Amino acid sequence: MTATTRRKIVVAALAAAVVLPVSAATVPASARAAAQTDYLPGVRIIGITDHATWVKGHRAIFGEASTYVGTRGGSWELWAQRPSYRDSITLSQVVRDAHGDVVIDQPLPDIAVDELGQGLANFTRATLRNSEGEVVVQRQFDFCPNNYQLQRTNDTGPENPTYPEACWANPFTTGAVWGIDRGWAARSTWGVSIRKPIPVGSYHLRIAINSPYREQFHVAKDDAAVRMTIEVVRGSSSRTTARTSQAAQSALQPTTLTRAANLVPGPRALPDLVSLPAWGMSVQNRPRVSKSYLSFGATVWNRGPSPLVVEGFRESNAQIMKAYQYFYRDGERVGKTSAGTLEYDSDRGHQHWHFQDFASYSLLASDKSQIVRSGKEAFCLAPTDMIDLTIPDAAMRPFLAGLGTACGEPDSLWIREVLQTGWGDTYTQYRPGQSFNITDLPNGLYFVEVRANPDGRLYEVTDSNNVAFRKIYLKGKPGDRSVVVPPYQGIDTEHG
């Protein structure tokens, strides 16, 4: 998709959300000046949780208090300009029509901008009060709409951000554009650091958009602040509960496409998941616990013609997102359907969001009956291995394709995971629970099964190539087991 095409999509989405004149000439200038504030898209603050536990250390408390600023009514675009280096910086809000033309350029004289690289100074205020209502701590935070922590709140807007990344400016910069696309949100706070003695106990935290921003951007009362209950305890690390505030929950539900778009499209808009035989096998013998485990690698790749695109939007349980599969034809999105869930894995070595139902792995007996199933059932999809880039529509540079895979953070609002055409995602199973426990299995012939899309939640061209088997032989004595892996169709994967 070209930048021009993407820009047209953005402004078309804006026009659908806000009642705008088709062009500046269709409405008299005087009428536009009098009523233009009615057309201005607004913003809202979004909280992730309504309860958190902050841990009191030896010298300070750092508490997680993640918030985002999301759009309301369309794309939110600001221009910061100075006609010359001697002039003060002026700020205005801009609204475009379906053609990308500016139809509103609303000056914002009540908002002072000191530096083009700063963003909006003192945009939010965090106030921590004790159980008696007394203010314990107050902090103010600058806000850069163009920051790196962008999240999708629904699928009404563009699929990828269109505004610049970061608010950094050269000393000689004369004009900056800051913005958040429709259906997107930008991180506004991470946490609050407290370096004063505070007793353990229960507190109330309020994070709010400051005046004059509330008045200037017509922020509704319910959109202007979020509240959290904070429990301060003794310990070494802070944590948040797995609960999303009601305000955030209502703001983060993905929208429904038209009825036609919700229909699953034809094969040209579907991926084709193909399982490859397991490889990279070894046995981990653990004499101290008298256990032996078979580790292995497994690859599932996408033969296309369409990329596999799964997006998750946060629900009321902060460790669960509802997942959707999106369908593309010739680079354009043409539909979506439900695709299970995304879950946050906080275990060491993971600590990111996983998509359920992508693949399963089993150790089978010689008659191909199941003996052991791997505990690996969740995935952070990424194009790790080039499999076949000669097929039609293969992605030559998947990480630059504009549909970036993200595994996310505990407080992410949204996740997008992508497996492009021609590429595979390889996982090595070496942890207990993921590798196969072969301690009590007799020596002999076995099969390792790799099965893509095991529960059929994902739509694809065909499921006839979803299963691959790899023949192996277990050998040795208890505590000193080994594996022999014959070549697969002449390819020896175990000896370089």
Q: What is the pLDDT along the chain (496 residues), one digit of tens a residue?
A: 433 333 333 333 333 333 333 333 333 343 344 344 556 899 999 988 888 888 887 777 877 888 999 999 899 999 999 999 999 999 999 998 888 888 899 999 989 999 888 899 999 999 999 999 999 989 999 999 998 888 898 889 998 889 988 888 888 889 999 999 999 999 998 877 788 778 899 999 999 999 889 998 989 999 999 999 999 988 755 454 444 444 444 444 444 433 334 557 788 999 999 999 999 999 989 888 889 999 998 899 999 999 999 998 886 545 678 889 999 998 889 999 988 888 776 655 555 577 777 888 999 999 999 888 776 655 678 888 899 999 999 988 887 554 455 677 778 888 888 999 999 988 877 665 578 899 999 999 999 999 999 988 899 999 999 999 999 999 999 889 999 999 999 889 887 5
Can you give the pTM of this predicted structure?
Answer: 0.73
Q: State how far the alpha carbon of 15 is from the alpha carbons of 57, 73, 250, 386, 461, in Å.
A: 51, 10, 23, 40, 35
How many angstroms separate the CA atoms of 28 and 106, rounded?
16
Domains of the chain with bracketed CATH: 3-245 (2.60.40.2360), 267-484 (2.60.40.2360)
Hunting for tokens 């893509």 — which residue is that? 452
3-state secondary structure of 311: strand
Give me the torsion for CA of 27, 29, 31, 33, rounded to 10°: 130
How many angstroms separate the CA atoms of 353 and 379, rounded?
8
The region, left, alpha or beta by phi > 0 then psi within -120 to 50, assigned to residue 165 is beta
**275 close to 300: Cβ distance less than 8 angstroms:** yes
Cβ atoms within 10 Å, residue 125 = 16
